[in-house]
A and B are shown apart, each in its own frame.
Chain A
Amino acid sequence: MLDLLKKTLSKVEADYADIRYERMRTSSAEFIKDQLKGVDSVSTDGFVVRVHKEHGFASATVTREQDVPEALRLAAEGASVMGKSGKRVLLADVPATIDHVEPSLNGDPADIPLQDKLALAAKYSRLMLGMPEIATTNVSYSEVDREKFFVSTRGSAVRERIVTVAIGGEAVAERNGLLQNIRVAVGGADGFHNLLDREDEFVKRGGLAAELLDAEPLKAGTYDVVLNSSMTGVFAHEAFGHFSEADIIEDNTSMREKMALGARLGSDAVNITADSTMPGQVGYYRYDDEGVPVRKVQLMTRGVLTGRLHSLRTAGAFGEPVTGHAVAEDYRYEPIVRMGTIFFEPGELGFRELLAQLGNGLYLCDAKGGQTAGENFTFGAQYGYLVRNGEAGPMIRDINIMGNLFSTLKSIEAAANDFHLGERGGCGKGQVNIKSGHGGPSILVRGMVVGGV
């Protein structure tokens, strides 16, 4: 395949061009309660081409090999129009890479019979469904096996296989018409073993859903809060992380000024790192979709901006080193700058010491989706607790927090030492990235706007 791609590129007249071919095998199944809703096990493929000419840079994606010439024509047309508009794209110069990477898996899901995968998901669904006050469950098995072949006119030729597995869903509890739900997810990128013997996790999540029926709706207002590791991870990803993706700020003059390397943006407690080289994490990979090896990047050190994530295009635009963070969802998309594994680094306080430092406020647990619009962010907590005099008290529900990145970074007072990374990724920046892992310790933030009811 690599030879075929090289031959295709050899006909392209451009300053730079690359082509990525992907074969993707997926298996999925969904149970609603104890009933199977659907099951798929399929294989498919597609091509992505990119052309840099006349100072413009554009992409096109196709599914059929016979459409590749038209894709190259469209990409060249797009690049030309961009260049003529005055935009000058400079691609960072990187050495050619030639490599073939196979994942190290503890249990290759490709070797596991489909019926065993279904049985496992069904077992976890039934476990939660059998718990008191659980009205329904929704549990899905998901397996994505991508084999990528990348070739560029600079001589790179990289083949890498990436396998991600997950079982996830939700438990919904009901009492007198009140519905409360809790999400659950287990998985990883180093094999099927991540999914085995996880009964405790599903039982714990089902129990939390039932407990929420007795939780008090939170009154909207401004609170001091402790975020648990899941919430901290989403903060690192949603509020800060997207701004560390250089393509987000590449064409925003004012944000580029605010996000200058060396700028003090947060308190001394803020240390944030992107590291997709950590084996076993959902965000793990060796080469991005530009054939660049990924490297660890210290994004913020004691509140000072010390790094950002790049593609070839943004590294060229900022005059900074490449980092290997240009990642596409699959064969249908051009790569864009993505985080992979991002986390807030732990501090030295024990969790109880952190609550004591909070005094009065909220302890918010387990993220429930987030979104950013520029420097403003919002994300939900699945549940939480009122904290009085450093002690967690009654459970609360209906929690969403909102804030401004820059003021919140300065309001982070302390981080605990209870570091934890999540098992399942998911980010919808134009494309869905199942390999966006995140986490951190519990952190204390002063003065957050919290929407309740």
Chain B
Amino acid sequence: MSLRNTARAWPTLLRVGFAEAVAYRAEMFIWVLATTMPLVMLALWSTVAREAPIGRYGETEFTAYFLATFVVRQLTGSWVFYDMNFAVRNGTLAMRLLRPVHPLWTYAAEALAAMPLRLVVSLPVAIIALVVVGSRGITHDPVLWGMWGASVIGAWLITLLVNLLIGCASFYIESSLKLMDAWLVFFFVLSGYIIPIDLFPAGLRAIVAWLPFRFQIGFPVEVMTGAHDRAGALALLGGQWLWVLAGFVATALAWRGGLRRFAAYGG
């Protein structure tokens, strides 16, 4: 598959993907409402911190952290594994394979095309965050904001690649839904989604530093809330993009091997 061909088709893929996301708009909004866990955690931790700060987190810091978590989650979420798992199992992947655009690019386009609708939800929350916590809980450094942008792209890519990789697992184990369930258990606990990572015990924090979960949520949130200086953020950004690279390689290998096993069941 040539990249030139894919690049040429990309704007149409995005436009059609957006049209599909809009077709499911009611479902989309319900799904967005279902991802309000950070807001629940915000209420919980803010109440606890009212008595005394926990680590570096007072009430304001917790508010900033979990509103940032909500925004980052909205900007980086992806569920393409579900479509892919279904397509491999019932053979409809065949219709994507017949087109001269790599199916993984089409899945990526569909994930990206849902972004404008997510922005509609996350932008007001970002504005509310700014009003509620003032400028204290958020970094003022434009360089860190630049790194935040790169970290959100990295987080989105890791999440997308994990989805594609688990989708590819369907070639080998027929259904990969439970694999995603297992991944999500670790993701929720170890990504900083429900507890900031710097509140983990030191031993666990050291382990988490070597895993990809933090780079999906915690790291961009930490950059946004000013938890790192430029040098620290840059080092972590390097680590995050190494995971992106590893994800690309693993997904490409799983796809290539998986296609040989694809049985194109049905009709």
A and B: interacting chains: no
Q: Which residues of A contact B (CB under 8 A)?
A: none
